[in-house]
Amino acid sequence: MERRLLELIPEFELIEDAELRRRTLDAFLSALRRGGWTPDDLTRMPFTLLIEPCPANMVQHVRAVTRAARAAAAELSAMLGEAFSPDMDALTSGALLHDVGKLLEYEERDGAFVKSRFGALLRHPFSGVAVADEAGLPAEVQHIIAVHSKEGDHSKRSPEAFIVYYADYMSFQPLRG
């Protein structure tokens, strides 16, 4: 399962810290197992249930958010120098896992992806933090997951969390039409 996940989402390899990379992968794999999914299911799973039909799957969305967040952070760092030096590993881990809770929030029923009973009670930022905590990920990564969506609108966001928040928004809003 791990090898296939890495084939689909090679951006895990961008995390330089080996322990953080391992814990990030473990969190994603744990959510896949808990949700009863395979990595290939991610290629069929819509990244949102709010756009019908959804034009992008979970793999495309996770990769787009991760790549956009990393590119934005790199450009800001290049232009601002010492005034901005993001933790690229935490940012990458948080971007890869920002929607990991959707693997618990969704289920497939009669050939359609729908909100699960669990998902009706807990939105993915909450369940995503629980998955990350269970995998031993640091608070900086859990914070990015927690505040990447509307639940974080009244919370202080770290610079890395702001970047992931906007990368996620850029990957969602233009597709709404």
pLDDT confidence of residue 90: 99
DSSP 8-state symbol, 16: -
Q: Give yes or no for a contact between 2 and 25, defined as CB atoms under 8 angstroms apart.
A: yes
Q: In Å, how far are 27, 39, 43, 62 from 147, measured between CA atoms? A: 18, 25, 25, 16
Within 8 A by CB and 6+ apart from 8, the residues are 39, 40, 42, 43, 59
Q: Just give the CATH number of 2-176.
A: 1.10.3210
Does residue 152 register a pLDDT over 80?
A: no
> Dmax of the chain from CA atoms?
53
pLDDT confidence of residue 62: 99
Closest CA to 102 of 149, 140, 134, 138: 149
pTM, full prediction: 0.96
Per-residue pLDDT of 85-130, as tens digits, reads 999 999 999 999 999 999 999 999 999 999 999 989 989 999 999 9
CA atoms of 152 and 7, how far apart (whole Å): 31
| DSSP structure string for 138-168 | -HHHHHHHHHSSGGGTTS---HHHHHHHHHH
Per-residue pLDDT of 32-73, as tens digits, reads 999 999 999 999 999 999 999 999 999 999 999 999 999 999
Per-residue pLDDT of 158-170, as tens digits, reads 999 999 999 999 9
Q: Where are the domains of the chain?
A: 2-176
Residues found in the chain = 177
Does residue 131 register a pLDDT over 90?
A: yes
Query: Where does the pLDDT of residue 11 fall: very low under 50, low under 70, confident under 90, or very high at 90 and above?
Result: very high
Does residue 155 register a pLDDT over 90?
A: no
